[in-house]
Structure 1
């Protein structure tokens, strides 16, 4: 394997981040999202959004690389109170120190090489440096690979579920929570 690393995303990475997002969703979520939703994903619009996030926040964006290739990315920042609240909307007691892994994707052809774990560990480091003590992430209930990934990282479902409208089809997500300190083995 070529040298693998994680670094902060640069504005020059946005086209590749958007391409990875669109292609990974179209591949990995083909059984979860309606075909018209997947076909309507717009890499150019995604690139514009990622450029704004990289330049202005509020989240940090990291990229995983293998050799000269960008192979995955992650965005993480402070969790909005509504994301970390209990199912009934009650704010979490530690809401001010909860981080959110908003997106973590590795292009499938680069999977199983530790890129996701490196991204999660680097995001945890960034969240800890920002004063966060734990983090949350949402993953589709039917995404067994995503659920296994977070469990292997020592994260657990906290009992909160949400249902999103995915182009007229309900998409149930499970919220995982775990430590921001994730030592690499």
Structure 2
């Protein structure tokens, strides 16, 4: 745990640790809250998500990762889980912070822990994907030393009145 003191003497108990069984409920809550404010998704798409299935996937990721180099990390504000990151060999699969807890350093701590984990597993580079139009995530990643490196992909995210709705993601990376 890290204990930080502000200029006015207030302290905040914040930390990042590996996820443990039981964290899947809070991880699912954070992910759903983050998706609701994501520029490309919104309530209509998120309402289609099966929370039980998402929760089960996170539980599996914590207790039975698919292989070496896969991990889920969580950010805590005191006893409250407020964010998470998932990594795979050389990749930041996802990093989300509860919208009510953004701008408090949790994302930076999660990214630093993810980079430490990737380096410990021998990665030379970090790669992640960013949804087109997610200006806040682009700003965060740019300030953290990552940048777009060219590839992009389209992903189906749901149905609307015109059929399948998709988003474009761009790959970002940085050397470690």
CA distances 1:68-88 after superposition (whole Å, capped 9, x unpaired): 11000000011xxxxxxxxxx
Using a 3 Å threshold, how does the CA distance of structure 1 residues 107 and 35 change in structure 2: closer, same or farther? closer
Q: C-alpha separation between the residues in 2 aligned to 1:103 and 1:146? A: 11
Cα drift, residue 34 of structure 1: 6.0
CA contact (8 A) 1:101 1:137 kept: yes
Q: C-alpha separation between the residues in 2 aligned to 1:158 and 1:130? A: 23
CA contact (8 A) 1:34 1:166 kept: no
Determine whether 1:53 maps to 2:61: yes
Structure 2 residue runs of 5 or longer lacking an equivalent are 1-10, 159-163
Aligned to 1:42: 50
Select the structure that is richer in helix: 1
Please give the residue correspondences for 1:70-85 in structure 2 after superposition, counting only pairs within 5 Å.
70-78=81-89
Q: C-alpha separation between the residues in 1 aligned to 2:174 and 2:14? A: 24
CA contact (8 A) 1:21 1:105 kept: yes
Q: Secondary structure at the match of 1:61?
A: strand
Determine whether 1:22 maps to 2:32: yes
Give the counterpart of 2:166 among 164, 170, 177. 170
Q: Secondary structure at the match of 1:104?
A: strand
Q: C-alpha separation between the residues in 2 aligned to 1:42 and 1:179? A: 36
Determine whether 1:69 maps to 2:65: no
Select the structure that is richer in strand: 2
Give me the TM-score of the superposition, normalised by structure 1: 0.81
Using a 3 Å threshold, how does the CA distance of structure 1 residues 34 and 22 change in structure 2: closer, same or farther? closer
Cα drift, residue 164 of structure 1: 0.9
Determine whether 1:2 maps to 2:12: yes
Q: C-alpha separation between the residues in 2 aligned to 1:102 and 1:153? A: 16
CA contact (8 A) 1:71 1:106 kept: yes
